[in-house]
Amino acid sequence: METEPGSRPNKALSHDGPVGQSSNGSRDPIPPSKVTTMYKYALLAVLAITGLAACSQKDEAQQQPTEQAAAVSKPTDPNDSKAWNAYLGQIVQKNMQGMTADRPFPYLVPAGDNDDANALRQRQLEQVQDTVARGVLPGNMLVFAGPDSGKTAQFVTDAFKDAKPGSFKDVIVLVIGDAADKDKVSAVLQPTGATVRYVNW
């Protein structure tokens, strides 16, 4: 839902994208996008992660960011969405310090190299690039993760490569993946001024 002209913008993130910056200078939510097959898959992660986030944000607020996942092991099957939801959800819970929005907004980057997977990632990338161009209100938290760490790192790189310096100040960006991809992700995110949290699995 778009913000009425002259009304106060919503500081929370919507299910279809974070709050952005409109052309007239006010910050408006990104319009709802079409629900694709990817989002049917990603929605499972949204429900699992955000449901946990809402009830645990206050309890976790005093914890320091963690660099190690606990309890649930990393799934071996990239198509086991239930297992990935549980695994990634626990990591998000432990890394929400400083978030003042109602919930984080997770992007589950699909694995795979076939035409369908590539098309889904491209559509998701275009949405995130639009979010980056609009800007995100301070206190929000974006999460990027997926079964293929290399594809997640490339996705984040492509999404933020044209971000304006300092445009993500006080916005938390959490990326979950292999230690080998940390430098690549950090290099593209640090100039944005975001609070970067990279969790090694």
Q: Is residue 131 part of a domain?
A: yes
What integer pLDDT is reported at residue 39 of this predicted model?
A: 42
The pLDDT, as a whole number, for residue 145 is 97
What rounded mean pLDDT belongs to the chain? 77
Q: What is the mean pLDDT of residues 27-36?
A: 39
pLDDT given for residue 81 in this prediction: 81
The end-to-end CA distance of the chain, in Å, is: 36
Q: Could you tell me which residues come within 8 angstroms of residue 135 by beta carbon, excluding any fewer than 6 positions away?
A: 20, 21, 27, 167, 168
Q: What is the pLDDT of residue 194?
A: 98
Higher model confidence: residue 103 or residue 23? Answer: 103
Q: Which residue has 């080998």 as its token pair? A: 180
Q: Is residue 22 part of a domain?
A: no
Q: What's the domain count of the chain? A: 1
Domain assignment of residue 76, yes or no? yes
Contact present, 122 and 151 (Cβ < 8 Å): no
What pLDDT does residue 79 have? 84
Element spanning 118, H or E: helix 115-134
174 confidence band (pLDDT: 50, 70, 90): very high
Residue 8 lies in a domain: no
Residues of the domain holding 146: 31-200
> 5 lies in a domain?
no
Is the pLDDT at 161 greater than 60? The verdict is yes
Q: What is the pLDDT of residues 77-134, one digit of tens each?
A: 998 888 988 999 999 999 999 999 999 999 999 999 999 999 999 999 999 999 999 9
Q: Which tokens hold the place of 19?
A: 């709050």
Cβ atoms within 10 Å of 71's Cβ, excluding its own: 7
Question: How many residues does the structure list for the chain?
Answer: 201
The DSSP annotation for 3-67 comes to PPTTSPPP-SPBTTB-EEE-TTS-EEEPPPPP--HHHHHHHHHHHHHHHHHHHHHHHHTTSPPPS
Any domain includes 154: yes
Give pLDDT tens digits for 39-86: 434 444 444 444 444 444 444 444 455 455 447 899 999 988 889 889
- Is pTM beyond 0.75? Reply is no
* Contacts (Cβ under 8 Å, ≥6 apart) of 117: 110, 111
Residue 12: pLDDT over 50: no
Q: If you average pLDDT over residues 9-20, what whole number do you get?
A: 37
